[in-house]
Amino acid sequence: MMKIEKELWGKSPCGKDIFKYRMTNSSGAYVELSDIGAGIVAVVVPDREGRMADVALGYREPLGYFGDGPCMGKVPGRYANRIAGGRFTLDGKEYVLPVNNGPNHLHGGPEGFQNKVWESREHDGGVEFMYFSEDGEMGYPGNVKAVARYEWSEACELTLILTAETDAPTVVNLTNHAYFNLDGEGNGNILNHELKLNASEYLPTDDGLIPLGDSEPVAGTPMDFVNAKAIGKDINEDFDALKYGKGYDSCWVIDGCAGESVRFAAELYSPASGRVLQMYTTQPGVQVYTGNWLSGSPEGKCGRGYEDYEGVAIECQRFPDSPNKPDYPSPVLRPGETYHEAIIYSFGVRK
Active-site residues: which are they?
Answer: 177, 315
Nearest Cα neighbor of 253 from 297, 318, 170 is 318
Residue 244 dihedral angles phi and psi, to the nearest 5°:
-60, -40
CB contact at 8 A, 164 and 149: no
- Coil, strand or helix: which one is 174? coil
DSSP 190-211: STTSEEEES-SEE--B-TTS-B
Residues ≥6 apart with Cβ < 8 Å to 296: 69, 305
Nearest Cα neighbor of 44 from 30, 33, 58, 57 is 30
The rounded distance, in Å, linking the Cα atoms of 138 and 125 is 34
Tell me how crowded residue 153 is: count the other CB atoms within 10 A of its CB: 16
Bridge partners of 300, per DSSP, are 59
Length of the chain: 351
Q: How far is CA 266 from CA 76, 290, 301, in A?
A: 20, 14, 26
Nearest Cα neighbor of 177 from 293, 64, 264, 56 is 56
C-alpha dihedral (59, 60, 66, 72), degrees to nearest 10: 10
Nearest Cα neighbor of 76 from 133, 131, 115, 114 is 114
Nearest Cα neighbor of 182 from 46, 84, 316, 68 is 46
- Coil, strand or helix: which one is 169? coil
Nearest Cα neighbor of 38 from 84, 93, 71, 75 is 75
